Amino acid sequence: MLSSELDAAGIHDPELREAYRVCRGLNAEHGRTFFLATRLLAPDQRPAVHALYGFARRADDILDDLESTATHDERQEHLERLRKQLFNRLVNNDVDGDDPALSAVAHCARTYDIGWDLFDDFLNSMRMDLTITDYPDRPALQRYMYGSAEVIGLQMLPVLGTVGPREEAAPYASALGTAFQLTNFIRDVDEDLERGRVYLPADELAAHGVDRELLQWCHNNRVTDPRVRRALIEQVAITRDVYAVAERGIPLLDARSRPCVSAALTLYSEILDRVEDMGFLVFGQRATVGNRRRLQVAAVGLIDAWRSRHTRAA
C-alpha cells in the first residue's frame, strides 16, 4: 500500500522513500484519528501529509516526551538545532543531518511550495512552550495557536488543493487547525497540568471562579469541580463555533480532498460530544471516539472519496 502511494506521488529515491515511511509510521502510531482521515485522500496526496505530521511530531517529542530526562536548556538546544537543520535544507538547499522527518518534510515543502515562514512560525510557538505555562486571555492564546495550529492548516492547503485562489480558503484552513487544537486543550487539560501548563484563557476561567489552583486540585483528586464544569461548557461552545466557521471552507477545497477533511472535522468535533457524555469528568480519563464510530465515518468517507475521484477521472 505504501509503495503504491509513494509511486503515485512520484517519489522513487530509496532514501527518500524510507524517510516518508518513517513519517507514515509516526502518523499511524501517534495520530490515529488523523491517520484514518488520510486514508480518504488520493494516494499521491498521502505521503506529503505524513511528512508534515512527522515533522510536527518530531518537534512535539522534543518538548513533551515525559520519559525524557532532558533539561529545559537541552530541549531548547534540540529545538533550535531542528530549526537550523530545516532552514539549511529549505533555504540554503544544504543537507544538514540525517533525520528522516527532515528529509521528507523538506522534499514535501519544495514539491508543494510551502514557505519556510510557516515552519518558522510553527517552531516559534513550540519555543513558547519552553517558557510560557499560562495564557491570560484569548488573544494571547491565539498568538500561540497561530504557530501551533493555524499554520498546520495552511501547510496542508497546497496538498489538499483548492477550487479557487488559495488565499480564499486560507482563513477556513486556519480555523480548522484552531478547532482541532482547542479540542485537544479541552480533552487534555488533565494531561497538560502534568506538564505544568494550562491552555485555557485565564480570564474566561476566572469568570466561573476557576484558577490554576482549582484545576490542580481537580487533577490531584480526579474530580471535576462544578465551577470547572461550567467553564468547560463555555469552552466547548466556543470551540463548536470555530468548527462551524471551518466547515464553511470545505466546499472551497479540491473535491477529492473534501471527504478527508469532512471526516476529520466530524471525528475531532465528536471528541467534544464524548467530553459532554462523560459529564466533563476529564480528570483521570480521556475522551475518545470509539473504533466503531470511527470506522462508520470512514466508510462514508471512502464512498464519497471514490465518487469524487471517479468523477474527476471522467
How far is 9 from 257, CA to CA, in rounded Å?
15
Average pLDDT over residues 259-269: 91
What residue has cell string 476557576? 210
User: Left (φ > 0), alpha (ψ -120 to 50) or beta: where does 94 sit?
Assistant: beta
pTM: 0.90
Q: Which of 114, 144, 177 is the last residue of a domain?
A: 114
Residues 183 and 98 in one domain: no
The confidence score (pLDDT) of residue 309 equals: 52
Nearest to 36 by CA among 313, 287, 310, 265: 265
Structural domain includes residue 100: yes
Query: Looking at residues 67-87, what average pLDDT do you find?
Result: 87
Domain check: are 237 and 283 in the same one?
yes
Structural domain count of the chain: 2
| 138 HSE (CA, 13 A, CB side) | 7
Enclosing domain of residue 270: 132-313
> Where among 88, 114, 140 does a domain terminate?
114
Same-domain pairing of 175 and 77: no
Sign of the Cα torsion 246, 294, 43, 310 reads: negative
pLDDT at 313 exceeding the cut of 60 = no
Cβ atoms of residues 269 and 183 within 8 Å? yes
Mean of pLDDT values over 5-22: 94
pLDDT at 310 over 50: no
**What is the rounded distance in angstroms from the CA atom of residue 314 to the CA atom of residue 297?**
26
Cα–Cα distances in angstroms (integers) from residue 104 to residues 10, 39, 174, in the given order? 13, 19, 23
Q: Where are the alpha helices (DSSP H) in the chain?
A: 2-8, 14-30, 32-38, 46-64, 72-90, 100-112, 116-131, 138-145, 151-160, 166-187, 189-194, 202-206, 212-221, 226-247, 258-277, 291-313
| Burial status of residue 67 (CB atoms within 10 A of its CB: 0-12, 13-18, 19 or more) | exposed
Amino acid 239: pLDDT: 98
Q: Which of 58, 81, 114 is the last residue of a domain?
A: 114
Specify whether 283 is located in the same domain as 137.
Answer: yes
Task: Assign residue 83 the CATH number of its domain.
Answer: 1.10.600.10
In the predicted structure, residue 225 carries a pLDDT above the cut 90: yes
186 has pLDDT over 90: yes
* Higher pLDDT, residue 213 or 289: 213
pLDDT at 5 > cutoff 50: yes
pLDDT digits (tens, 9 = 90+) for 106-140: 999 999 999 999 999 999 999 999 999 999 999 99
